[in-house]
Amino acid sequence: MKTLKKQWLEAVSAYQYVLLLFLIGPFVPLPVLFLLFTPFCLFSVLYLAWLFLDRNTPNQGGRRSEWMRNWTIWKHFRDYFPIKLVKTVDLPPDRNYVFGVHPHGILSFGAFCNFTTESNNFSQQFPGLRPTTATLAGLFRLPVYRDYLMGFGLCSVDRQSLDFILSQPQRGQAMVIVIGGAHEALFSIPGEHHLILQNRKGFVRLALRHGASLVPVYSFGENDVYKCKTFATVSWQHRCQIIFKNVMGFSPCIFWGRSLLWANSWGLLPFPVPITTVVGRPIEVPQCLHPTEEEVDHYHRLYIKALEQLFEEHKESYGVPASTHLIIK
């Protein structure tokens, strides 16, 4: 039985994650700009000069901090839902991997908890693997916030960044990519499992260029932590969302959860719904520096088949009805 203090710590931990993504993170650079017009402007000038010299770091493996990845707050964050990490097979560290994570959900709670923190002991479950999660390149243009993100082992999703990591001489690199991206967030409907995958083949090309094994990953419960307002794909509202996503890089989803202080009121705090991230069997991929479309399509089909099999094998164990199947668009 959780104590009131423990429940409060868990809720605050989940809430701060949401605030950092939506409110605090984008506004963190403002103090740097503000100081430019004060007697302390030298601090901002020095930081901006260093920022210029350090501008390529997000595309060169980032700058992770194991201390940040092991913060106690992430264990409270994990326990709020709770979030679990399930390994189905061993992944030898003598090769590299591309983890395809599904679904995106609204804020990818499962992917963040399991691959950018050590709250579920990824390094113990998969010894020798070094996970690096790719996210929007634009986030690394925000002063201060970029350094916070890199501390968790996040990197830019740009091709240069992904190629750099998988080209390292040390094997055991695990490139984590939420395949559906911002577009898939628009289909984060509780109880449904819509994936944007049919025309997403860049991750397969990446795996072929480096001979990295493809690993399907599914987070059951990811779509259930928020209620979401969706629009028909032919509606003007949906078209506006797509235009906004194409310009800004993220989707303007209409979603809500519960209040931090009153459980029966709406707010930004996600509902405490269990999320279980299941890591599937790897698909061995040969190295081909210039893969043909036929090769890409072949391994893309193998990946979809493996993902569907993973979903079918585990869905009933995590509360998904037997009649429910993946909808891949």
Taking only the tens of pLDDT, the chain with its 329 residues reads 789 999 999 999 999 999 887 766 667 777 888 888 888 889 888 988 988 999 899 898 889 999 999 999 999 999 999 999 999 999 999 999 999 999 999 999 999 999 999 999 999 999 999 999 999 888 888 888 899 999 999 999 999 999 999 999 999 999 999 999 888 988 888 999 999 999 999 999 999 999 999 999 999 999 999 998 777 777 877 677 677 667 666 667 778 899 988 777 889 999 999 999 999 999 999 999 999 999 999 999 999 999 999 999 999 999 999 999 999 99
pLDDT for position 160: 92
The DSSP line for 74-98 is: HHHHHHHTTEEEEE-S---TTS-EE
The DSSP line for 96-150 is: -EEEEEE--TTT-HHHHHHHSSSTT-HHHHSTT-EEEEEE-GGGGGSTTHHHHHH
Helix (H) or strand (E) holding 229: strand 227-229
Residue ranges of domains in the chain? 4-328
Radius of gyration of the chain (CA): 20
